[in-house]
Chain A
């Protein structure tokens, strides 16, 4: 990871994002959500994620928000069956504004999550959790190793489908997914054996080859998250 944000400590980034998310989740106020979204977009150059990449990989978030917006605001009316399920409790907000709040809140929750993970390298995350939060190294590295196998599973899926076809059986989706799960578990077992062969479960203390710092710039990431979360809370109370 070569960007400034990419080099910050993973736990710090995660903590900052969690603070912001927790604050955003507590309110439906559109302005609060917009503040978060705006702050994120402004910080986008720092993260190394291009707007193109945001669209390409973040499209489920945008699609969700757009879906809510379209189907409730544009097509909804007070007596639409869709809206009947979104009936209000007497909060006094206009129906449309509530739905806009929903859509924006979804974006304000999804985007920080997306950006955070786009700037976190899984190995760094494992190291950081072990070093700072005392997560058991066996579990962190075990999960990391399994994650490394993930792209291989994509190849495996394709090969299983072809192999089933070559055997003369129709490759139904469920059957192929089941075969993939079996293959994944088998690989996992072999990987576990290889890890043990290299001394993984030896029992003694384990060092980490990569250095994990926690410097003021990492603290600054948490502080920014805290400030953004505070801004959201303030807006929430100021506007009701």
Chain B
């Protein structure tokens, strides 16, 4: 297995990141809009969307560093588009990306099955929760609430970022757009 990133790997990972940065822009506003009806920590149910690049990147590109790279670029570009959380999202992205990376590093970057995706999503969520709890909510949550928050973010990560990315990658593969990648399928000779 080649570990060096080809040009097409870099550009497509970046494109996925940019596409999700746009999604983040919208999703950030959903988070804010829900502030009135859904208080924390339950609002964190929607958290998984921010973690998708950390899992989808490796599933598509299948090279080391894909989770970290895709998530960091997505976070940085979303800050560029105008995120309410300024530069902290870049550090968030770093932590989330590392979490996602571990899900695939654990099997030596050779396994890209549903299990890997779920673990990666969960770990990305864990990273995100640890970051948020120490930076944002340290003084305001009780210990019980902190555990709840972390649990919700992790579950959201597993479901939305883990299972969701896995399903998304399979759907992309069926369209043939991933044929230049190891995650694509064999084309029918015509």
Residues of A within 8 A of B88 (CB): 21, 25, 109, 113
Complex contact A188–B82 (CB within 8 A): no
Q: How far is the CA of A186 from the CA of B80 in the complex (A)?
A: 24
Among B19, B79, B171, contact of A113 (Cβ-Cβ < 8 Å): B79
Among A71, A150, A188, contact of B12 (Cβ-Cβ < 8 Å): A188
Q: A82-B39, A192-B12 are in contact. Are A60 and B180 (CB under 8 A)?
A: no
Q: Could you tell me the distance in whole angstroms from the C-beta of B184 to the nearest C-beta in chain A? A: 11
Chain A residue total in the interface (Cβ 8 A): 65
Q: Could you tell me the distance in whole angstroms from the C-beta of B115 to the nearest C-beta in chain A? A: 24
Complex contact B18–A196 (CB within 8 A): no
Q: Which of B104-112, B135-143, B153-161 contacts A (4 or more CB under 8 A)?
A: B135-143
Residues of B within 8 A of A185 (CB): 12, 15-16, 172, 177-178
Complex contact A142–B7 (CB within 8 A): yes
Residues of B within 8 A of A43 (CB): none
Residues of B within 8 A of A111 (CB): 86
Complex contact A147–B139 (CB within 8 A): no
Q: Could you tell me the distance in whole angstroms from the C-beta of B145 to the nearest C-beta in chain A? A: 7
Q: How far is the CA of A178 from the CA of B174 in the complex (A)?
A: 12
- B96 on the A face (CB < 8 A): no
Complex contact B10–A191 (CB within 8 A): no
- A37 on the B face (CB < 8 A): no
Q: How large is the interface on B (under 10, 10 to 19, 20 to 34, 35 or more residues)?
A: 35 or more
- A162 on the B face (CB < 8 A): no
Complex contact B175–A195 (CB within 8 A): no
Residues of B within 8 A of A139 (CB): 5, 10, 69
Complex contact B15–A110 (CB within 8 A): no
Complex contact B10–A143 (CB within 8 A): yes
**A-B complex: 3 closest residue pairs judged by Cβ atoms:** A113-B86, A146-B14, A142-B10
Q: List 30 A-B contacts (CB under 8 A).
A: A17-B86, A18-B87, A57-B82, A58-B82, A60-B25, A61-B84, A64-B35, A65-B84, A71-B35, A85-B39, A88-B139, A89-B139, A89-B140, A98-B140, A110-B85, A112-B87, A113-B89, A120-B80, A122-B80, A138-B5, A143-B10, A143-B17, A147-B77, A150-B22, A153-B18, A153-B19, A180-B19, A181-B19, A188-B8, A192-B12
Which residues from chain B sit less than 8 Å from chain A, CB to CB? 5-8, 10-12, 14-19, 22-23, 25, 28-29, 32, 35-36, 39-41, 69, 73, 77, 79-80, 82-89, 135-136, 139-142, 145, 168, 171-172, 175, 177-178, 180
